[in-house]
Structure 1
Amino acid sequence: MNKRILMVLTSNDRMGESGKPTGLWAEELAAPYYALQDAGAVITLASTRGGRAPIDPGSLKARGQNEPAVERMLGDDALLRAVEHTRHVDELAIDDFDAVFFPGGHGTMWDLPASAGVTKVVEGAYRQQKVIAAVCHGVAGLVTARRDDGRPIVDGRRINSFTDAEEDEVGLADVVPFRLESRLRELGARFEGAPNWQSFAVRDGTLVTGQNPQSSGRVAELVLQALAG
């Protein structure tokens, strides 16, 4: 498979006024990155500001204690360099890619919806019927995108993300700028969820979304199906 995939990461390392550290959730980059790369995809990493994409310290454990994909990432100098030197999403055109993928992490909730470059990439991908994928809070990258008729791109589509129940369980419902599941429902999405921390993902045509870190690998599988189809 010689497909080109744009992965857009958060540049935000703080949870708003709380000051709590955040960023990219390591597994949500590593698991899909390697699944897609091992299938032959060429991946470009971008972020909302370019340069270093912060990794949430809560998503990393001591070496030898992480999920296999994260362990692989920690020993992969090329990927770690790419995370330190991401492209600026504003400088890239979706025309050059077959898919766009948004890994999550709480950091995304602040900067993905505020990025004109993210909105442009998603709207372009939707218009060109390219694969749009996101996992967990990465689905925040879809909330500002509109169709040519002005309706949200998620309106009427089967979709999934980090759930309100999971946000409640981690105690951050009053810290994030909005509840992602609730926002998607408000935008007209046909939200489908699973019990907390279960692997769950939804594919609706070229739109692929997953619920939480545990869903990262499943999202990648569905992306490969969508690209093959």
Structure 2
Amino acid sequence: MAPKKVLVVLTSHDKIDAINRQTGWYLPEFAHPHHILSEHNVQFTVVSPKGGAAPLDQGSIELSKEDAVSMSFFENQKALWENTATIKEFRGRAAEFDAILYPGGHGPMYDLVDDADSIALIEEFYRAGKVVSAVCHGTIALVNVKIDGEHIIKGREITGFSNDEEDFVKLTSAMPLLVEDKVVEAGGKFVKADIFGDKVAVDGQFVTGQNPVSATSFAKALVTAIGA
């Protein structure tokens, strides 16, 4: 059987603007899906809005020091995020992939939320019947995607970084918007566990995970969804 293929979309935004704090994509939210999916012979292509090196949230490295999967990924897989292609290069190519995946980190809140190429790509994957997946703040990439004027997540169970979690990490006031609020505004049914609980939502083509703690469960659900 031919290997399954996943297109991973990383942020190009490297700081929380309001407080000038370094950010980017969050290490375990790519590391754990990569670990689980690789065990099922899944192949990865990685893109970002600007291409080139996609900024890794340096705080996520420090917080993952005791996480062997994340540290192995950080030490051995740098080629995946240090030379990404642009999202634009992959428009019109959904047929080559089985799923699209958006890891989180605070970076997506600034660029992927309204990136025109990203929105067009998600629409293309959705129309093609492919799996659309996101974890934590990556879910923000889904909220502005519409087909025939209607949000694609309307009526769907969707999860992502909750308002309670944003409050817990004391970044609510620094955010330009909130994942939970925007999912609800788009007509999605936002579902969540307690703060930093393990939560995955699977509804139709959508597979979403709530937070870094959910990254492994999210990856296992994605394996099932693509039949890997």
TM-score tier after normalising by the smaller chain length = over 0.9
| Alignment pair present for 1:170 and 2:169 | yes
Alignment partner of 1:40: what SS? Answer: coil
1:60 counterpart SS class = helix
Aligned counterparts of 1:18 and 1:114: Cα–Cα separation in 2:
21
Equivalent pairs, count: 225
Cα deviation, residue 114, structure 1: 2.4
Question: 1:141 Cα deviation (Å)?
Answer: 1.0
Report the 3-state secondary structure (helix = DSSP H, G, I; strand = E; otherwise coil) of the residue aligned with 1:91.
helix
List per-residue Cα deviations over 1:129-173 (Å, max 9, x = no partner): 1001000000011011112x2100110001101000000111111
Q: How much does 1:179 deviate?
A: 1.0
Q: Quick one: distance in 2 between partners of 1:184 and 1:224?
A: 24
- For residue 62 of structure 1, report the CA deviation from its aligned partner: 8.6
Q: Which structure 2 residue ranges, 5 or more long, are not aligned? A: none
SS at match of 1:111: coil
Question: What is the CA–CA distance in structure 1 between the aligned matches of 2:223 and 2:205, rounded to whole Å?
Answer: 11
The one-character-per-residue Cα deviations of 1:163-216 (angstroms, maximum 9, x if unpaired) are 000001111111111011011001100111110011111100220001000001
**Sequence identity of aligned pairs in percent?**
35
Q: Tell me the residue number matched to 1:90.
A: 88
User: In the aligned structure 2, how far is the partner of 1:114 from the partner of 1:66?
Assistant: 34
Could you list the runs of 5+ residues in structure 1 that have no partner in the other structure? Answer: none
**Is residue 105–residue 137 contact of structure 2 (8 Å, CA) maintained in 1?**
yes
The 1:14–1:205 alpha-carbon spacing in structure 2 relative to 1, beyond 3 Å, is same
Question: Which letter does structure 2 place at the counterpart of 1:172?
Answer: L
Maintained 8 Å contact 2:198/2:210: yes
CA shift at 1:127, angstroms? 0.6
User: Partners of 2:128 and 2:18 in 1: how far apart?
Assistant: 38
* Number of the residue aligned with 1:73: 73
CA RMSD between the two structures: 1.5
The 5 A counterparts of 1:1-229 are 2-61=3-62, 65-76=65-76, 79-92=77-90, 93-147=93-147, 149-228=148-227
The separation in 2 between residues aligned to 1:190 and 1:17, in whole angstroms, is 29
How many angstroms does 1:98 deviate by? 1.1
Q: TM-score, normalised by structure 1?
A: 0.94
Give every structure 1 segment of 4 or more consecutive aligned residues whose post-TM-superposition deviation is greater than 3 Å. Answer: none
Between the aligned partners of 2:175 and 2:62, the Cα distance in structure 1 is 24
Separation of aligned partners in 2, 1:108 and 1:173? 15
Q: TM-score by structure 2 length? A: 0.95
Q: Distance in 2 between matches of 1:102 and 1:62?
A: 20
- Listed one character per residue, the Cα deviations across residues 74-130 of structure 1 (whole Å, up to 9, x for unaligned) are 331xx2022110110111132221100000001110010121111011101111110
State the AA in 2 paired with 1:71: M
